[in-house]
Amino acid sequence: MENESQRGIDSAFLEHNFDILSKPGAPRWPPASSDRPSRQAVRKKRDLLRHLPPPQSRKILRRQFYLGEVPFKQRLAIYKQIRQFLESAEEQAEKAEFLKPRFFTQQDLHRREVLVPDETIASFAGVSEKFSQSENIWFEALRHGCRVHVLPSDESEGHNRKVILSGSARATELVADRLLKTRELQEHGDPLIDIKKPPVPAFPSRLAFERSGTLAPLIRTVWSYKTNPRPRVIFDLLSAKSESISTVKAFVEHVEGLVTSLPSTQRHESPHPRRVATALRELFCHESRQQLISTTALNTAISFLLQHGFMNDVQELIDRGGHVATIETFNILLRSAAKRQNLGFFNLVLRVMGRLRVRPDVHTWLAYLECLISPAAKTDLVKVMEKKGYLKDPDALRSVLRLMISELLIKHFKDGGSVDGFFNKIVETAGLNWFPASLIRKMVVVTAQLGDASAMTRILDICKENSLPLSSDIINDVIRFFPNDTFTALHYIIMCLQGPTAELNQEAYARLFINARRNKHYNICRVLWRYACMNEAVSRTMRDDVTFLLFHNVAREGLAEQDKLWWTCAGKVLVGVDLHLPDFPFKNDLLRTIPPEFHDNPVASFLTPLRLEGEERSKQRLAAKAIVKHDVEIGPWYRPTYSLAHMLEVAAELDKQWVGVPRPAKWLMQNAIQVPVEFVGHNLKD
């Protein structure tokens, strides 16, 4: 029995109050009166949060959410306890009883190592887009059962994965024979085997070749999911197939289908993620399917549940499938706890790892690094990881860079460093010429938070000069940092669009459109609306805004003249992807909603200065919806003549000339920027 005094100050609380720590809003520890923060302390903390980068401030708020009333000294003890557990677990890992799960303590257990190609493993355990190259465990129901343990791909030999079979001597022999027989059938192209042997061998890991000092073949087969993705199936169709599952492979594929399923076409009282979570729980808890659970299925399911915050279901799945859990399973749980700053749950997962004798790895330490908020604490932990040799792994080093890039860049700027110096420093010290879009995005966010326009410009220039990838998320961040200055936001967005990869997604179109609408920029809104229609990126918000502006005839009293002009004229300036053309698709259908005298110029029918009521107002509203619907549905049939960056630049210059100068509605419509388009036809657009 473990001594209670050695279990740590919060052990009993963690083990008996799982729900309190995992559920937001539940009652928490009552604080002692001496630990209650004063009003001055609360005010000081709020002021500090304002000056922190968004990731840090969000982490502090999340931690406050879960441990808001835990005394400060006990919070520090939780951090200390986590680190002590990780260090002691690694020290105990040298002992054989800690290296092996309790399953191996049986004296009569027989272990056998075999080498099996990836395609043969896939025939038994299925294929997962995310976890196929990871460690995998399942049980074969032969005699008294055989445990099949596929080691990670980086421990492979050539094109074969290492597989450890555990069970009675006869059971391991039967499973090994079955693996060999399946491999032979694949080699001979047996039509009953759905996964064939590839014409060129598949090599699971280049890292394994590097460790052995040999070169990986230049011509080799790799698993591909993007070129031929699995079709997503409607949830109701999948749930009806659960009764027919009889193999480990079918179980994995069913779980993968559930987490990627499409919502039901019929309205249901529960949201789609909740229905999927219920189906996963019922699937894993069914007694007849316990022997079909594999690590891949478990990891896929809990990743979905953690993403949607279904903590109770996660706990139940771990209870049912813990016998196939690996270090990767626990790392998934730890990363989720770190992102949510739920330190209690983090500590609880570590304790379960200890009871199951699962050794922490570099990703466990990285999850703890993600838990930390203080730059000093992060730096200290990175030094510890470096001493342990974890940072020799390029993937681990890249993960550290992802987690600490904001703190490193802020410190670099405070020390008087430049953007170029920071890029060079990363390449020289880390030995990596590696800058993914997520890393660039965090650097841009830091410069925006610091208000350093020249640094942001230089980062984007370096990306353009070196063809570094930029994501649409950067554009969303730029828009958020300049809510009242569309022109400045556009300056940086155009720089992003001139790169090799960045483009506006639906969210970016909507954010930038709302920004330009708030600042009353006719031409920018006109370009964004038309390009969003042509790129099938019109959001519901954009559609509703344009419809409202189109049939808005009279502005309310008390507004400035410029504001009145915007509310009554903006919609007329924005719409009409192809209405200026002499002939356009479905012209007759659209003109049925327009008065005959306006068939040559349908948008002009909305220029009446009168407040229409009754039937006339209803007809005008229907006409506005018809024009907006026409733009959205016919837009993809056209291709713009010029790039979006070019058109936004011209539109911004035109809007700068229009600022503060009231113009008649007809003048605005006639002099707005022209958006040249080319008809390409239905389903012919590249």
pLDDT in tens, 396-423: 888 898 899 988 999 999 999 999 999 9
Domain that holds residue 664: 504-679
For the four alpha carbons of 560, 561, 567 and 573, in that order, the dihedral sign comes to negative
**Contact by Cβ (8 Å): 112, 176:** yes
667: in domain: yes
| Mean predicted confidence (pLDDT) in 47-61 | 52
Strand partners, 638: 679
Q: Tell me, what's the pLDDT at 1?
A: 35
pLDDT in tens, 419-468: 999 998 888 776 667 788 888 999 998 998 888 889 999 999 998 888 88
261: in domain: no
| Local confidence band at 604 (pLDDT 50, 70, 90 cut-offs) | confident
DSSP code for 70: S
Q: How far is residue 246's CA from residue 141's CA, in Å, rounded to a whole number? A: 11
Backbone angles phi and psi of 417, in degrees to 5: -80, 165
463: in domain: no
| Mean predicted confidence (pLDDT) in 113-138 | 88
Helices (H), 579-613: 587-591
Task: Return the percentage of the chain with pLDDT > 90, whole number.
Answer: 34
pLDDT at 527 over 90: yes
Q: Tell me, what's the pLDDT at 75?
A: 65
620: in domain: yes
Residue 485 Cα distances to 518, 535, 549, 579, angstroms: 10, 25, 22, 31
- The tokens describing 2, both together, are 């473990």
Q: How far is residue 438's CA from residue 495's CA, in Å, rounded to a whole number? A: 17
- Residue 380's CB is within 10 A of a number of other CB atoms, namely 12
**Contact by Cβ (8 Å): 577, 603:** no
- Mean pLDDT, the chain, integer: 81
5: in domain: no
pLDDT at 620 over 90: no
Sheet of 146-150, strands arranged across: 110-117, 160-167, 146-150, 136-140
| Mean predicted confidence (pLDDT) in 545-565 | 82
Residue of higher predicted confidence among 612 and 205: 205
Q: How far is residue 396's CA from residue 385's CA, in Å, rounded to a whole number? A: 10
Q: How far is residue 515's CA from residue 519's CA, in Å, rounded to a whole number? A: 6
Q: How far is residue 219's CA from residue 275's CA, in Å, rounded to a whole number? A: 44
Counts for the chain of helices (H) and strands (E), in that order: 32, 6
Helices (H), 451-600: 453-465, 472-481, 486-497, 506-518, 522-534, 540-550, 561-574, 587-591
- The tokens describing 276, both together, are 């999927």
- The tokens describing 43, both together, are 């005010």
| Mean predicted confidence (pLDDT) in 184-212 | 80
Q: CB neighbours of 265 closer than 8 A, spacing ≥ 6?
A: 234
- The tokens describing 498, both together, are 């001139």
Q: CB neighbours of 546 closer than 8 A, spacing ≥ 6?
A: 529, 571, 574, 575, 628
Which of residues 197, 212, 227 is at a domain's end?
212
**Contact by Cβ (8 Å): 133, 153:** yes
Rg (CA), the chain: 30
385: in domain: no
What SS3 state is found at 501? Answer: coil
pLDDT at 11 over 50: no
pLDDT in tens, 542-553: 999 999 998 877
- The tokens describing 112, both together, are 């056998």
Exposed/middle/buried for 484, CB within 10 Å: 0-12, 13-18, 19+? exposed
Which of residues 212, 241, 272 is at a domain's end?
212
594: in domain: yes
| Mean predicted confidence (pLDDT) in 564-570 | 87
Of the candidate ranges 334-338, 508-512, 564-568, the one whose mean pLDDT is the lowest: 564-568
Burial 137-168 (b: 16+ CB within 10 A, else e): bbbbebeeebbbbbebbbebebbbbbbbbbbb
Q: How far is residue 232's CA from residue 256's CA, in Å, rounded to a whole number? A: 10
**Contact by Cβ (8 Å): 587, 646:** no
pTM of the full structure: 0.75
Q: Tell me, what's the pLDDT at 225?
A: 65
Q: Tell me, what's the pLDDT at 266?
A: 81
pLDDT in tens, 211-234: 777 777 778 777 776 666 678 888
Of the candidate ranges 80-94, 201-215, 242-256, 577-591, the one whose mean pLDDT is the lowest: 201-215
186: in domain: yes
pLDDT in tens, 242-288: 788 889 999 999 999 999 999 888 888 889 999 999 999 999 998 88
Q: Tell me, what's the pLDDT at 26?
A: 39
- The tokens describing 219, both together, are 């011509």
Distance between start and end Cα atoms, the chain: 68
Instruction: Work out how many domains the chain is built from and give that number.
Output: 2
Q: CB neighbours of 673 closer than 8 A, spacing ≥ 6?
A: 523, 526, 527, 647, 650, 651, 654
Q: How far is residue 210's CA from residue 216's CA, in Å, rounded to a whole number? A: 8
Which of residues 212, 245, 275 is at a domain's end?
212
